[in-house]
Structure 1
Amino acid sequence: MIWHKPDGTNISREEFDKQLDSIISRDSWIIDGNYQRTLETRIKACDTVFLFDLPTEICIEGALSRIGKKREDMPWFENELDPEFRQWIESFRANQLPEVYRLLEKYKNNREIVVFRTREQADKFIEKLV
């Protein structure tokens, strides 16, 4: 977890970039999250991308299901779905997903790209690994 501070605020972009550079310079790493501003940097540095291209309704349900639960990526408990975050989810498909696919197309050589359109597809992928 590098973006969120325990008090619910975020680190600066400069500090985020510094920590990101440290992470992607390692031999192996996993980064979960969109962080669109640094997406190209991460795609260029990785060997595998897993994209969850799930329907908006499923993403909203997932966000709602996490309310009130302890999470490793957020050091506080959410009591409700933040309206701004809900709007971000609802507009993601139109506003951000096309850029994600553009970057995946641009960097598709020499890396594995796996797109899951359902949670069941992800579950089956993991079952094959075990």
Structure 2
Amino acid sequence: MQRILIIGSGGSGKSTLSAALGQRLALPVIHMDALYWQPGWVEPAKPDWQARVEALCLGERWVMDGNYSGTLAQRLAACDTVIFLDLPPLLCLWRALRRGFRYRGQVRPDMAEGCPEQLPDPAFLSWIWNYPTRSRPKVMALLDAHRQGRRIVHLRSRREVGEFLHTLGQTTDTTAAASSHTTL
């Protein structure tokens, strides 16, 4: 596990898990949100973003978290391990709302400078709620298409995430830790 990609719905815990894995495995952490957004919540030009992601994927070792479907296939092709946080939408909604209140008006540690946290807007909450029916099938298809040559870890609950981290803490053999959880 040298190039780990963490994906999942908003509020699923991608940034939290990537920080924990980065620390435990001594890997640099790449928060896509921190790189995508420009001050004032301005989106980058698509070609600039594609080039930036391409350069990031060339790194030898990393933990990268974030969705950004336009570059997901590119990041899947570059990683050796994918962790799909497939948690219940109600839990993800709760976490997104809690995060919004916790960091309201402040820049989160995993976010770009000049992008203070706001309460989640209805469109974002709708995306989280509908993730299992609208986004998940596309993610599953991409995971299936990129299965060869990489380990896919599918975590469906807080308990499974905790067990996965516990297993990593118990062994220096990261292959065993990843293998002890359901793969797609």
| Same fold by TM-score greater than 0.5 | yes
Note the aligned Cα RMSD (angstroms): 1.4
Structure 1, 6-15 or 16-25: larger mean CA deviation = 6-15
Counterpart for residue 58 of structure 1: 91
Q: Which residue of 2 aligns with 1:117?
A: 156
Confirm or deny that 1:11 pairs with 2:50. Answer: no
SS in 1 for 2:152: strand
- Report if the CA contact (8 A) 2:155-2:161 is conserved: yes
Structure-2 residue corresponding to 1:48: 81
Deviations 1:15-49 (A, max 9, x none): 11111011001111222111111111111111000
1:83 is aligned, of 115, 122, 131, to 122
C-alpha contact 2:54 2:74 (8 A) present in aligned 1: no
TM-score, scaled relative to structure 2:
0.66
Structure-2 separation of matches of 1:61 and 1:41: 30
Is the 8 Å Cα contact of residues 53 and 117 (structure 1) preserved in structure 2? yes
Structure 2: gaps spanning 5 or more residues: 1-33, 170-184
Higher relative contact order (CA 8 A, sep 6+): 1
Task: Give the corresponding residue for 1:103.
Answer: 142
Structure-1-length-normalised TM-score: 0.91
Report % sequence identity.
32
Q: Would you say the 8 A contact 2:80–2:149 is kept in 1?
A: yes
Superposed CA offset, 1:90-114 (max 9, x none): 2211111101111111111211100
Partner Cα separation in structure 2 for residue 27 and residue 41 of structure 1: 15
Out of 28-37 and 17-26, give the one that drifted further.
Answer: 28-37
Q: Name stretches of at least 5 consecutive residues in structure 1 with no aligned partner.
A: none
Match of residue 20 from structure 1: 53
Worse overlay, 55-64 or 10-19? 10-19
Superposed structure 1 runs of 4+ greater than 2 Å apart: 72-79
Offset at residue 122 of structure 1 (A) = 0.9
Structure 1 residue 73 displacement after superposition: 3.0
Higher strand share: 2
Which amino acid counterpart does residue 126 of structure 1 have in structure 2? L
CA distance in 2, matches of 1:10, 1:31: 19
Output the CA distance in 2 between the equivalents of 1:4 and 1:56: 24
